[in-house]
């Protein structure tokens, strides 16, 4: 069991990146996927290099995206900023944190760097894929 208390992604390289819709996070145990943000979520069509996404709300909230095409500010309200989520691993199974999207680009050609921070509460681990 872990407490995920930070997730951030940043676009680090762009090739073909005109269509990325419905972005969201889930955890997957090899059989069942459980969303930890609203699915399907917002679109990132044509976002700029350096754009970021963060998980800063409840499980029922979208990932928040910040396009780097201009300066953007996100209010770090203590009531919601980096809201943690508890994830219990399926016994005997690897559990993965996944970034999901749909696209009509064939293929999509963009690189993200993802950062996440979690605290182990009761054994197990979390692997980002």
2-29 confidence digits (pLDDT tens): 888 888 999 999 998 889 999 999 999 9
- Residue 53 CA to residue 44 CA, distance in Å, equals 9
Instruction: Collect the ranges in the chain with pLDDT lower than 50.
Output: none
pLDDT recorded at residue 24: 96
Provide the whole-model pTM.
0.85
pLDDT recorded at residue 46: 86
Contact 100, 25 (CB under 8 A): yes
CA distances from 35 to 30, 56, 62, 111 (A): 14, 14, 11, 22
Tokens of residue 116, six digits: 């996440």
pLDDT recorded at residue 100: 94
pLDDT recorded at residue 124: 61
In the chain, what are the domain boundaries? Answer: 2-128
């Amino acid at each position: 069991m872990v407490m995920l208390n930070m997730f951030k992604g940043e676009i680090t390289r762009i090739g073909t990146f005109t269509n990325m819709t419905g972005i969201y996070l889930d955890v997957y145990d090899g059989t069942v996927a459980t969303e930890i943000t609203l699915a399907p979520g917002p679109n990132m069509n044509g976002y700029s290099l350096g754009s970021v996404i963060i998980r800063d709300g409840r499980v029922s909230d979208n990932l928040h995206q910040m396009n780097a095409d201009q300066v953007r500010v996100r209010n770090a309200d203590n009531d919601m900023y980096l809201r943690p989520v508890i994830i219990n691993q399926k016994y005997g199974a690897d559990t993965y944190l996944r970034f999901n999207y749909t696209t009509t680009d064939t293929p999509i050609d963009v690189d993200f760097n993802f950062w996440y921070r979690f605290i182990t509460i009761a054994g197990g681990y979390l692997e980002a894929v």
